[in-house]
Chain A
Amino acid sequence: MRTLRFLLQKEFRQIFRNPAIVRMILVAPTLQLLVLPLAADYEVRNINLAVIDHDHSTWSRQLTQKLAASDHFQLVDYEESYRAGFHLVEQNEADILLEFPRGFERDLIREGKTTVMMSANAVNSVKGGLGTAYALNIIGSFNKNILTEMMPTPAVSPGEQIGVVSSVRFNPLQTYPLFMAPGILAVLLTMVGAFLAALNIVREKEIGTIEQINVTPIHKWQFVLGKLIPFWVLGLVAMTVGLTAAYFAYDIVPLGGYLVIYAFAAVYMVAVLGFGLLISTLAETQQQAMFISFFFMMIFILLGGLYTPINSMPEWAITLTKFNPAAYFIRVMRMVVLKGSTFADLWPDFKTMGIFALVLNSLAVLNYRKRT
């Protein structure tokens, strides 16, 4: 126990002498939480719309104005021909082209129906897809207005027969930070746990101090605990900073209570630390450790459900996410913060994370050699 105390003392001293680590623990969570949810959300705004109006009628102008009035679209230009409009798309100045055919209004009045043509630039498929959907929505409601205007008192409403009243649960205002913050915290803990710890150990390998440690009577478990405990603490400190920032900036208070979050984070940290330790036993240089870390970080994030919902992934990818500890943490964080899930609800996740912790740490300890 005394040996462990000396190890911990040394480790904490070194950590606090390293301004980069302190910055990462305090500044990174705050900045990421304040900036990222505001800048990077799913909403698509400022879709550039170019209109090619061959009709020049009241209604074509009305529809154009209606689209331009929405905060999703920005009317950038009127063009005379489709070719000129397409040129704008090629120049990346327009995302969506809307073309009104000659006789748009006339057909509408005489025959009760007409067509417009819409072309979307799908180089950015999210922008193209969502832009089309928004535009269809707006044209749809425009349709209804025309119907009521043209047939003031219809016998049977020709409009929609089934109306939908939707209610958004757990995040009623659909505030984006509320959804994003838990995920960002999860990524942060993974960074501190797996990668700071791995780099720290590999650094000792590189400098050669680990060889010195290996000829002392320090036991393997003492060395491992001496490395794990400080980073475990750091991870929870980083999370506290992050939760505080989330509270002050977005009024985020986990509905399920802080206790559940900390309890899960505590187990999660043990798991990712085991992972970091495993990396450190595989890498000989900090550069190697960085590359391995980066590789897994991408997988953790992309297959973690932070941006893409896991349910909409292909079957094989969903299976992969089951082996991604970050996916569990992101989900649990969201469930506790938004839905108010409790220990009882999350018991299976606690168990799975416990297994992760056990397996990863066992592998790491088995792989760590004082002797070759």
Chain B
Amino acid sequence: MSEVDNKTIPPVISVEGLTKQFGNFKAVDDITFDVAKGEIFGFLGANGAGKTTAMKMLIGIWKPTSGEGKVAGYDIYSETEKIKRNIGYMSQRFSLYEDLTVWENIRFFGGIYGLTREELREKGSALIDRLGMGEKKGSLVASLPLGWKQKLSFSIAILHTPQIVFLDEPTGGVDPITRRQFWEMIYEAADRDITVFVTTHYMDEAEYCNRVSIMVDGRIEALDKPAQLRKDFNAESMDQVFTSLARKATRSAD
């Protein structure tokens, strides 16, 4: 795991006063944080707390109402296309093409990120080997079990070695063993200096992160290393930390 407290390296994500308002409703309300290179940053919050909205502003598909932000060194207002070149994204909904085979999905997504033919062949084969999906290479993605789909989806999101990968509840509905394997993959990616920005509901997963932030009603209510948070809140587990914060929420979960 890489050292995260090194202040001399500029952060890969830095956000100040970021706000997204829909009518009178502030989905994201004035949030400020930095994420260092190679860090695994956990973005926690109850349903409807504003995690996905914040993430969508960072990856350049939603425009912020106000606030400043830089992702991978590019402005989140004016340089979204450059941001997109430097990040990977795995959405809440499964988003590979089910009617394409495993290999065709790899080729397609690698291709549109500009990987050369050799890179596609090498990285693609390496990916297949790492996942042990050699036999499934030619099967339609629709035929894979969910856990495999999620692992494949993650591998494809980092195929072009982005600076940052954004994961929106990547392990939802996945069995514990696969979740474990999934987190091993996240650690491998972080070792390759890919910053991981991940939202989750599972508090055991929060423990795996270098730092976590907890959002309540659109605001970041806590942000620190998991051990420090447990200490600050005088709690035995992240679960207790989360519950004591989330109890303050006035918004109903969706």
Contacts and interface: CB of A to CB of B under 8 A. Distances in A.
Interface of A: 2-3, 5-7, 9-10, 13-14, 17-18, 207-209, 211-212, 214-219, 370-372
A3 B61 contact: no
B62 to A, nearest CB: 6
Interface string B110-124: 011110000000000
Contacts of A9: 108
Interface in B89-132: 89, 91, 93-100, 104, 107-109, 111-114
Nearest to A15: B99
B107 to A, nearest CB: 7
Nearest to B93: A208
Contact of B59 (A13, A208, A215, A219): A215
Contact of A6 (B59, B84, B95, B108): B108
A370 B99 contact: no
B99 A14 contact: yes
Given A18-B99, A208-B91, A217-B81, A371 B112 contact: no
B114 A209 contact: no
Nearest to B95: A212
Contacts of A13: 99-100, 104
A217 B84 contact: yes
Nearest to A10: B108
Given A6-B107, A6-B111, A14-B100, A371 B95 contact: no
A7 B80 contact: no
Contact of A10 (B60, B63, B87, B104): B104
A18 B100 CA distance: 11
A218 B113 CA distance: 8
User: Considering the complex of A and B, which 10 residue pairs feature the smallest CB-CB distances, nearest first?
Assistant: A6-B111, A208-B93, A212-B95, A215-B89, A217-B85, A217-B84, A10-B108, A215-B59, A214-B61, A208-B95
B93 A10 contact: no
Given A10-B104, A371-B60, A209 B97 contact: yes
Contact of A371 (B80, B97, B100): B80
Contact of A215 (B87, B93, B107, B114): B87
